[in-house]
Each structure stands twice: as structure tokens, then as C-alpha cells.
Amino acid sequence: MTAANNGASTPEDDDPFGYLYEDGQAAGATPPGQGRGYGYPGPAPQPGVPRTSYNQVRTVGERRQYAQPPQPFPQQQGYGQQPTAAYAAPETYPGGAQTRQGPVAPAQGRGRGPNTRGLLIGAIAVVAVVVIGIGVALMTSGDDKNQAGGSGASAGPTAADSVKPSEEPTAKPDEPVELPKQDAATLKLGGPASAANTVPGAKGTNGGYVMFNGEGGSASWSVEVPEAGAYTMYITYSVPGKDAKTTLTINSGQPREINMANFARAAKGDWEKGWTNTYSYVNLEKGKNDLKISCEPGNQCEAYLDQVWLEAGQKQG
């Protein structure tokens, strides 16, 4: 079996820089432009045997002219750029010289630069979402507080609660205090005292009045006064044409006589003509006071009691 023929010369026989070395020069290596080319001269080429080395050795800077310049792959065009012609070596053009390609200026018009408009819209959208979120949180917090207050939590006073009706104005010291009249027939009766209405002329309701009916008979009541001090007690009564005397007791104070004289000048035994009035000065405490008119031992109690009432200050009848 014969070895394969590798051609007229093998790649190791080609040394483009062989002429620089002493052994290369001894072997017949020649510089460019002298002889066949670079390297060591190998065996002569044999007809019909292809060369295995395809190194096309040529002088640096030497370019071979082609009938048509090789076309590179088409360059991808950017958005907004004008199509450019295929690249060809500068020396292929008439009078052209080898030049360095400078930086390509950006194309005029719209390019694929940063999308500032989109970024601005996005930023505004983010701010709007944050503001809406804060507003919803505040509204939710307010609703929770309102619900907490309605579920039993004590709330502050409202305007309606803070406005209270003013109390009844109290009377000034220099103004008279009008106290209600008391019908004797409505008072608390004690001992042999009793109510009647057979004698005409009484001013009480339905003409009612009180008869003491002797020692121990009494009529009691209570009265509220705004201020402590002097008051005038008025009494309407009837006597049968002669004077009478009764006893007045205030709270737990010392009893004293009340003069119930025949001021009407009625004839003896004339009860109907004997209706008249009298008054007595009393000192009362502020607030509640208990009063009693009674027939005590030593009194002349033949009298009918009609009405009683008080007025502030010491006045005359």
C-alpha cells in the first residue's frame, strides 16, 4: 500500500519568514519579489497533483483586484436610518486611498433614543396610585372610628347635649316673691279641727274653711322660700262678732299668738258678716319651712280659718 501523495509541497515547507534565517537563506529562501515567493523552496510542482497548502502569500498591503468587489452581509438598518451601500475597499475606487473609518454620526430625525415620554407617564401614574391609596386609607380610618363610637364607645358631648335649658330665674331681693295661697280646707288638720262650707262668704274652693272646734284643733302646711329672711303671712278668717286668738308655730320655734280680732265689725253671732283678714311678720329659713296654726290652752279659738299665704318682706295689710 503506497503512501498518499500530499502534493508538490507541504505546509511545513512554507515559512513566510524563512529568508530571515541563516538556514533559510542556505536553503534558497528569497525575500518578497524575488523567486516564487516566501519560504523554503520545496519540490517542483507535479502535473495533476493538487497543492495541499492554500496559503496565498503576498506582500503586506497588496490587494488583488476583483472584477466585482465582494459583497458583505447586508448591515441591519436601524429605525430611522437611511439604507447604505455595501462596503467596498477604498482602493477599489478610482483615486481612492486607504482611510480609517470614523465614527458614524447619529441619524437625524426620530431615532431609538430613551423613551422619556413613556417614563414621564409612568411616573405620573405611580404618584396617582400612591395618592389614591392614601385617600382610601384615611377614609377607612375615619369609618372605623365612627363605627367604634357607635358600638358603645363614649362619644364627646354634641352641640345639642352642651346646650341645656337655663334654670328658672330666681327672684331678686328687691322683687316680691309670689307664693301660692293655701285653702285652709286643704291643709293637714289635727285634733278636733274639721272642714266645713255652710257659712257663705269663704274664698276657699267650694266655699270651704276649717273650724278649730276647741283646744287642740290645728291646721298645718309646708312652704318653700327662695331666700332666708323676713316674710309677711296673711290670713283670711271669720269671727262671730267678737275677737279671737290662736297660736302660730314655725318649724320648731317658739309659739306665738295671732290676733284674730273682729275687724269687720260684725254683729255678735253673725258669721257671714265676720269674714276679714289679718297679717303677721315671720322669719323663715331658705328652703322648706313648716307652719301650724292651732288652738292652744289659753287661746280664744272661736274662729273659722279660710286661707293663708306668704309674701317676701315686711308689708302691711
Q: Give pLDDT tens digits for 36-59.
A: 544 555 555 566 655 555 455 555
The answer to whether 237 touches 260, Cβ cutoff 8 Å, is: yes
Minimal CA–CA distance to 224: which of 142, 295, 312? 312
Question: 259-293: per-residue pLDDT in tens?
Answer: 999 999 999 999 999 999 999 999 999 999 999 99
Looking at the chain, the whole-number percentage of residues with pLDDT higher than 70 is 52
The verdict on pTM exceeding 0.85 is no
Share of the chain above pLDDT 90, in %: 42
Position with higher pLDDT, 148 vs 115: 115
* Element holding 126 (H helix, E strand): helix 116-150
Phi, psi of 122 (to 5 degrees): -65, -40
More confident residue, 288 or 142: 288
Confirm if 275 and 264 have CB atoms less than 8 A apart. Answer: yes
